[in-house]
Amino acid sequence: MIFEVKALSASGEVVALSIEAAVEADARREAQLQGVSPFQVRQKQGAVGGGLAPRAARLVVLGFVQELLMLLRAGLSLVVALEAIAEKESRPGARAAIEALLAKLRRGARLSEAMAKSGAGFPQILVAGIGASERTGGLEEALQRYCDYAGRMDDVRKKIVAALIYPVLLLTVGLLVSAFLIGFVVPKFAGVYKESGTDMPWASALLFDLGRLIGAHPLEAAATAAVLLFGVVAAISMQSVRDALAMRLRELPGLGPRIKVYELARLYRTLAMLLRGGTPIVPALTLSANMLSATLRVQLQRTSRLITQGAPISRALENNGLTTSVGNRMLAVGEHGGDMAAMLERVADYHDEETIRWMDWTARLFEPLLMALLGLLIGGIVILLYMPIFDLAGSVKQ
């Protein structure tokens, strides 16, 4: 269960934490271990409420890792570097997370252990990478690997989002214009035509009936639209709904394979980072499972069992559908050459570039189609508005 905890930090500030625990007493104990004094603990509400509730500012992991790496390279010790980051941090939630790390380190815990138990949301792959570096003394290298990994993942994500921004903006504007026409313009025309007693086509009559209904009850119509919007946002915030939607998208003929390639690229990049850090392949596969959908996770588990039984990595991935034809050939070369991590990175780069090119091509094709559809929608509303006038003009000529 997730508990929302309000507590006092060492500096006397009120901080809000989100802690996963079995019971309330465990949540209080975890908050105290983070160096704060809890005064209110309550279980987080269901997925709808929890997804829409304001969240306390949490630690930005990549920014924190970049700052820590820079300070360590400047010659500061780990504890002094964390103290410096905590002092300059203005967000109470983020500061409490760093202070919790410091408290655990001062009690003799290793950095990876402190991160795993802090409740600050440090990724498992970062914790595993730091844990491996603690055995070899390469903390800075582990942090740099994570920065490179997260930076590359963010770059790909930003390019995909950038390709989607214009279509989404275009769709939003088109729907807002349509809503304005139906909610404001159509009721005005409906009143004029009602007073004139003009006969009109059934499609125009249906549109005007809708316009009169909205014009007579504007507040109710606005409230209904707001409730529908709220319901959509609330549904999307639920993990089960997102999983079901993602599953349906993966079943689409053209989109499903592309989503799989994107997931595989994330898997390969994560594996490459973990292998470079010294994590064995089987634990690395387990840690990388969060990069995949539920279906591919099952395939990854079978892959792990095959590798445990002695199968080559490339063959185990191929037998369980976790490679493409090009990727499998590249992985086989990397396996024979003895540098699997470097080849996994190259395969991930190849698939990321392939995904970005496909997204760019799809967006270029989809934008004019979307504009045409919105033009038909708005144009259809306008035509239905003026059809009674056209019929009246035709009757006058006769």
- Three-class SS string for 260-276? HHHHHHHHHHHHHHHHH
Sequence-distant (≥ 6) Cβ neighbours of residue 155 within 8 angstroms: none
Q: Which amino acid is it at 107?
A: R
pLDDT of residue 248: 81
Cα 340 to Cα 344: distance, rounded to the nearest angstrom: 6
C-alpha–C-alpha distance, residues 50 and 239, integer Å? 11
Query: Burial level of 32, CB count in 10 A (0-12/13-18/19+)?
Result: middle
Note the pLDDT of residue 55: 40
Residue 94: its pLDDT value, please? 81
Tell me if 61-148 shares its fold with 149-398.
yes
Positive or negative: CA dihedral 146, 148, 151, 157: negative
Secondary structure letter of residue 120 according to DSSP: S
Question: What pLDDT score was predicted for residue 371?
Answer: 87
Q: Exposure string (b/e) for 209-229, b if CB count within 10 Å is 16 or more? A: ebbbebbeeeeebeeeeeeee
- What are the tokens at 394? 């035709």
Q: Are 44 and 4 in contact (CB under 8 A)?
A: yes
| Domain 61-148 superfamily per CATH | Type II secretion system (T2SS), domain F (1.20.81.30)
pLDDT by residue for the chain (398 residues), tens only, comes to 567 777 766 655 666 777 766 566 667 777 776 667 776 777 665 433 333 333 444 678 888 888 988 998 888 888 898 888 888 888 777 888 888 888 888 888 888 888 887 767 788 788 888 887 877 778 888 888 888 888 888 888 888 888 788 888 888 888 888 888 887 888 877 776 666 666 677 777 788 888 778 777 778 888 888 898 888 888 877 767 777 777 787 778 778 888 888 888 888 988 888 888 888 888 888 888 877 877 788 888 899 899 998 888 888 988 888 888 888 888 888 888 878 888 998 999 899 888 888 888 888 888 888 888 888 888 888 888 877 776 665 555 55
* Residue 261 CA: distances (Å) to CA of 252, 325, 359, 364, 372: 14, 11, 12, 20, 30
Which stretches within the chain are classed as H helix?
A: 24-33, 47-52, 61-73, 78-88, 92-106, 111-117, 124-136, 139-180, 186-196, 202-216, 218-237, 239-250, 255-276, 281-287, 294-308, 313-319, 325-337, 340-397
Contact 12, 97 (CB under 8 A): no
Question: What's the CA gap between 86 and 63, in Å, rounded?
Answer: 13
pTM of the model: 0.65
List the domain boundaries for the chain.
2-52, 61-148, 149-398
Handedness of CA 309, 312, 318, 319 (dihedral sign): negative
pLDDT, residue 239, reads: 67
Q: Does 149-398 carry CATH code 3.10.20.30?
A: no
Count the residues in the chain: 398
Give residue 47's pLDDT. 33
DSSP bridge pairs for 18: 4
Report the Cα–Cα distance between both ends of the chain, in Å, rounded. Answer: 76
* Residue 91 DSSP class: -
Query: What confidence score (pLDDT) does residue 46 get?
Result: 42
